[in-house]
Amino acid sequence: MTLLPKSGRPRVMVLGSGERPQVAAEALRLRTLIESHAEIVVWDLGFSADLGNVTADLAVVLGGDGSILRAAHQMGYRQVPVVGVNLGKLGFLADLSPDEFNTALPEICSGRFRVVEHLMFECRLEREGAGLTAPRRVVASRLGLNEAAVLAGAPFAMLQVHLYVDSELVTTYSCDGLIVSTPVGSTAHSLSAGGPILRKDLQAFVISPISPHTLSNRPVVDAASRVYELLVPRPHAGTTLVVDGRVLGALEPGDRVRIEQAAPKFQLVEAAGRGYYRTLREKLGWGGSLLASGD
């Protein structure tokens, strides 16, 4: 599907990490190309602009997957389709090289592209009220794209984490931490902890323990429509809640982490010829081949 206006030039936001010399130089080189096909309504190479009142049709993000995460957070509840230009390393999300972007941009600005929507989530850190009958209060919240993780922290002893799904106790993990990841985040921290790879457009979460004490505690995949809650009865001094690589807050006894599907969707422009499994083959080095019969 396309979300571009039926007439006129598309309105484009250009976002990136301008503190990196490679990004700043490439942005200047590509600006003329972008301006020849679109109207630039935001030029922000510091992820500092307030996009709340910006009307745009596309966002061109220059950098790696970290830059795309920052752009998704910057857009907040007003997500627009993202074209990722990979100036980083792996680039699961920032899939186009600068040379490929040169070829793809005219097609994209003509509306000949597909948008794939990806799950985002709301993460809230809830704390008991001051009195015995006081309601729980939200002390911190954040919109996320990759994952929410409870990390044990100092003094780096085993952590007990209760997992609830739709208010039902699933299990108690003895681990170094617990990750609740979207399909987009399944190739990030969750994968390094032994979690599965989920196709990016699935509507599901994967729960992956970090170094679980019991080998039978394996990653679990469940529907995105459910509500996930993490409770740490005895957090360490350094136990923290981290969302997409940024600390949301330190956990206190009785705190509850609530994770559920968010209303906005992260929208990624899929360029022609850049299918999902091609990206996995290239980025994860899946270079094996099947031998012909008799070889």
* Domain ranges in the chain with CATH number 2.60.200.30: 121-261
Answer yes or no: is pLDDT of 130 > 90: no
Q: Report the distance separating Cα 221 and Cα 207, nearest Å.
A: 6
Identity of the amino acid at 17: S
pLDDT digits (tens, 9 = 90+) for 78-109: 999 999 999 877 677 887 889 999 999 999 99
Rounded distance between C-alpha atoms, residue 244 and residue 255, angstroms? 20
pLDDT tens by residue, 3-13: 455 557 999 99
Band (225; pLDDT cuts 50, 70, 90): very high
- At the topology level, CATH places domain 121-261 in Tumour Suppressor Smad4 (2.60.200)
pLDDT for 5: 53
Q: Which is the catalytic residue, given 44, 57, 65, 95? A: 65
**Which residues belong to CATH 3.40.50.10330 in the chain?**
11-119+265-284
Q: With 80 as the cut, is the pLDDT of residue 145 above it?
A: yes
For the residues 153-176, what does the mean pLDDT come to?
95
> Is 50 among the catalytic positions?
no
Lowest mean pLDDT among 1-10, 28-37, 64-73, 244-253: 1-10
Whole-number pLDDT of residue 279: 75
For domain 11-119+265-284, give the fold: Rossmann fold (3.40.50)
DSSP assignment of 62-101 equals: EE-HHHHHHHHHHHTTS---EEEEE-SSS-SSS-B-HHHH
pLDDT confidence of 75, banded at 50, 70, 90?
very high
